[in-house]
Structure 1
Amino acid sequence: MKSSCWVFIIAFIIAIDVYGLSSSLVNSQADSCSSNLNLNGSVSFDTSSLRCLPVWDGQGFILRYSQTASNIWSFVLSAPDTNSYIAIGFSTNGAMVGSSAVVGWVDPSNVGTVKQYHLGGTSPSLVSPDQGSLQFVSGSTAIVSQSSRLYMAFQLQTNQPESRLLYSVGQGGVLPSAPNFALSEHQAKVSTTINYGTGQSASGGSPYGRLRRSHGVLNMLGWGILMIIGAMVARYLKEKDPIWFYFHISIQSFGFLLGVVGVICGFVLNDRLNANVTAHKGLGIFILVLGCLQVMAFLARPNKMSKWRKYWNWYHHNVGRILFIFAVANIFYGIHLGGEGHGWSVGYGVVLAVLFISTFVLEVRIWIRK
């Protein structure tokens, strides 16, 4: 593996990671459950007796609610005003796809808007405004900006709201607008559960969390780490013939098996979540096909003395390089889609950095010898 190829891979990785990297500092001291809620008559229903609980400390989200009639529930969601939308979703299983969300924002002219969205998929085109299963009490929706915080109020007609709640905050300065009110991708999100009787809220975790982690870890280890290490063995341990060959085959075979199982986990996860991850899925299938071609190439490997051997080497090396590039890119893209946070991206990036530095040192060693 030539060092120029590795430079291209690392540059590609950094571009993806930096593009997806964002952080925010949240000041939630302007509102707390110990403070009195005063919305100055901006809300049509009584907010003085609402139960209050912090629901997302990382973003300063506070939820107030109460059952005001047998089939009417009142809600006020408070969050820092970062010139973005805030949202609360009601889900049957904790998944975003298939849920209904209440989304609100205040534009630069101080006009507030609250809308219901049906989350039909993960792409913005599948998030439909003014659709969903929630039934609002007429005239109950409102959102105001006060003391650098947003207060979104609404009432639902239901005997019991869903206990799996989703919260999200949009990207700063990106607000839905007429005529289609398309909702841009959120900056951050969290899934929680709530017990309306006791007033306790806890992180709900991701649906099918174990399957998600298995899919990510297996693909990361198989396609994104072991395959690269196997290629390094083939390039830098050639003088240890034939040990290098057996090491190379063993590592690549193990990485391929882990990758195949990871892809299978991905298909199962996609079927259960019914998520719209067409690009990620397509890249995964492409990577799997490249891996299968490498296995077939090994089985059809010509003798060293054959005139076809140089063409086989060219094919084998370049298909492997293409596989590495797309595998690394798709791993970072999958971390982004899964909303696993920057820890996974940073951790995998550190592993790649170690591999890159090792490759650079070994390349220099080869150059010095020549």
Structure 2
Amino acid sequence: MLCHTVMVAMATCLIYSSVVQSQFVQDEGVCGESKGCFSIPPGCDTADPANSCTAFSSWSLGEDGLILFNLVAGADGYIAIGLSKSGGMDDSEVYACTSNRAVVRSRNDVRSNIPLELKGVSDQSVTFENGVLSCTFKREQSVAGDSDFFDLQTENEYTPLLAWGASLTSDGHVTRHAEREVGSGPTDFTENIAAGVGSSVSALQKLHGIFMVLAWLGFASIGITTARFFKKSLPGKLCGKPSWFAVHRFCMVSVVTLAVIAYIVIIIHVGGYIKPEEGTIRFMHAILGTIVMALGPINVIMALFRPHPGEPWRNLFNWCHWGVGMSALLLGGVTILLGTSNRPGQEGGVLLQSVPQFVFPIAIALVFFHLAVWVLLTVIDLLQKKAVTEIPMEDKAGPNATSASTAGLAEQEPPNEPIIKLILYGVYVTVVLVGVMVIVLAVGIGKKM
């Protein structure tokens, strides 16, 4: 009885192995020589993708003039290949093999997946067993009179995309992908080219991310910290204004300028506003980002109409200005954390697919570093019994009145504040600038690791 059980188990393993292997290797040839390929991860053994590749696709031009596509992935919903004009999911034609053992066709724009009639496709074969989904099909190079059917004969310069996931619509079409990779650039599908993996993030997305990081983790942090703790510590003038005020004003004007440009850029890229069904993280990022974008200009407008020191509404302005600014800074930090989060298997949508995973902990470290410095500076101020308020001005009616202008601050003798505060200020600014530049470079040229 035991012997019989062992023999059955061994036979089952052999059968399973042969099934998986046959599912993954459905066309012959060598990638880059007799067929074009796009495999995830790059360099995996395409002769044995069952044990090496996460996802695999190949294409080759046959003597009949048709292009043979082969798709394989460990997925229980679908595996899809896209032909992209833009280099991203928008403006792409997609062919998906589903666990319903069907081949479906669709057209993607930024916001939706539009099912299309399956035309120009023949000899479909789809298998789905033991969690392995694979298929082959032949596609004509062109179809006259169909603008959605991308021409692979005369306009054959499309970037390959690979996407796979577990979800299908009720009519058997694909929904949002769980995983996606994009080729390194335009590819001729009539040639036997081994496509590399590129960045799935557009230049506009990167510009948005870079400008927002500079604005909120960089300029906003330094500007608010300077005004909050160093009004009495930075002597002299810059550009005719007290040093702290000149730094604060420059930083906050930079924040609003960069943030507005970044917001316009992403609206242009997305083509509107992100929908809830596009992922929890993506949608929350959009909502919080919009709130931050409203708070920033509001605070600038408030500052333009601020009462002079000593006037009745000045205290109310100080609290409102501080409250709106702090709310924008905190929400901006949370929004950036959502935008840079790129963890393996992350649910709710990844915003910047190409961002290395080390960026997220760096962003978190910067946020907590900022909070730690604030706590330390607050303790120092309390120990020195320094009120965190403006330096009292002389009566405006007096002969030496200066309260009508912030320039009066610079004309007073710098108070004897602890040198540790200036040291902390230098360390704080240095760490923030270095951290921000690391994130900016990672977003600009980095690749998911």
Structure-1-length-normalised TM-score: 0.71
- Aligned Cα root-mean-square deviation (Å): 3.5
CA distance in 2 between partners of 1:185 and 1:316 (Å) = 43
Equivalence map 1:79-228=2 (5 Å): 79=73, 81-106=74-99, 112-122=101-111, 126-128=112-114, 130-131=115-116, 135-145=119-129, 149-159=132-142, 160=152, 163-170=158-165, 174-179=166-171, 181=173, 183-193=175-185, 194-196=187-189, 197-206=191-200, 208-209=202-203, 211-228=204-221
CA distance in 2 between partners of 1:182 and 1:144 (Å) = 16
Q: 1:290 to 1:276 in 2, by over 3 A?
A: closer
SS of residue paired to 1:203: coil
Contact 2:76 / 2:132 at 8 angstroms: preserved in 1? no
CA distance in 2 between partners of 1:282 and 1:39 (Å) = 44
Shift, 1:208, TM fit: 4.4
- Which residue identity is paired with 1:339? Q
Equivalence map 1:1-370=2 (5 Å): 38-39=22-23, 47-48=27-28, 51=35, 53-57=37-41, 60-79=54-73, 81-106=74-99, 112-122=101-111, 126-128=112-114, 130-131=115-116, 135-145=119-129, 149-159=132-142, 160=152, 163-170=158-165, 174-179=166-171, 181=173, 183-193=175-185, 194-196=187-189, 197-206=191-200, 208-209=202-203, 211-240=204-233, 242-270=242-270, 274=271, 277=274, 284=289, 286-335=291-340, 336-341=350-355, 342-369=357-384
Q: 1:138 to 1:300 in 2, by over 3 A?
A: same
SS of residue paired to 2:82: strand
Contact 1:37 / 1:48 at 8 angstroms: preserved in 2? no
- Which residue identity is paired with 1:73? I
CA distance in 1 between partners of 2:98 and 2:378 (Å) = 54
SS of residue paired to 2:22: coil
Q: 1:48 to 1:265 in 2, by over 3 A?
A: closer
Shift, 1:183, TM fit: 0.9
- Which residue identity is paired with 1:330? T
SS of residue paired to 1:338: coil
Q: 1:346 to 1:84 in 2, by over 3 A?
A: farther
Contact 1:227 / 1:256 at 8 angstroms: preserved in 2? no
Shift, 1:70, TM fit: 4.6
Contact 2:90 / 2:108 at 8 angstroms: preserved in 1? yes
CA distance in 2 between partners of 1:195 and 1:275 (Å) = 32
Contact 1:52 / 1:64 at 8 angstroms: preserved in 2? yes
Unaligned runs of 5+ in 2: 1-15, 43-52, 143-151, 235-241, 276-282, 341-349, 386-449
2:11 matched residue in structure 1: none
Shift, 1:39, TM fit: 4.2
CA distance in 2 between partners of 1:301 and 1:189 (Å) = 51
Q: 1:368 to 1:103 in 2, by over 3 A?
A: farther
- Which residue identity is paired with 2:128? V
Question: Alpha-carbon deviations, 1:78-125, whole Å to 9, x = none?
Answer: 22x25453221111222211212223343xxxx544432332334xxx
Identity of aligned residues (%): 21
Contact 1:91 / 1:98 at 8 angstroms: preserved in 2? yes
SS of residue paired to 1:362: helix
Aligned residues: 315
CA distance in 2 between partners of 1:157 and 1:268 (Å) = 34
- Which residue identity is paired with 2:170? A
CA distance in 1 between partners of 2:173 and 2:37 (Å) = 30
Shift, 1:307, TM fit: 1.5
Instruction: Point out the structure with the larger strand share.
Output: 1
CA distance in 2 between partners of 1:283 and 1:303 (Å) = 33
CA distance in 2 between partners of 1:47 and 1:311 (Å) = 74
CA distance in 2 between partners of 1:347 and 1:105 (Å) = 39
Q: Which moved more, 1:187-196 or 1:318-327?
A: 187-196
SS of residue paired to 1:140: strand
Unaligned runs of 5+ in 1: 1-29
Q: 1:74 to 1:275 in 2, by over 3 A?
A: farther
Shift, 1:77, TM fit: 1.5
CA distance in 2 between partners of 1:330 and 1:184 (Å) = 22
Contact 2:333 / 2:367 at 8 angstroms: preserved in 1? no
Question: Alpha-carbon deviations, 1:154-197, whole Å to 9, x = none?
Answer: 22122426531111232xxx432535756134334334443442
- Which residue identity is paired with 1:96? M
Look at both structures and tell me which one has the larger radius of gyration over its CA atoms.
Answer: 2
Q: 1:131 to 1:364 in 2, by over 3 A?
A: farther
Question: Alpha-carbon deviations, 1:115-156, whole Å to 9, x = none?
Answer: 32332334xxx223x427x6352451413336x643232221
CA distance in 2 between partners of 1:275 and 1:288 (Å) = 16
- Which residue identity is paired with 1:75? F
Q: 1:251 to 1:297 in 2, by over 3 A?
A: same
Shift, 1:228, TM fit: 2.1
SS of residue paired to 2:86: coil
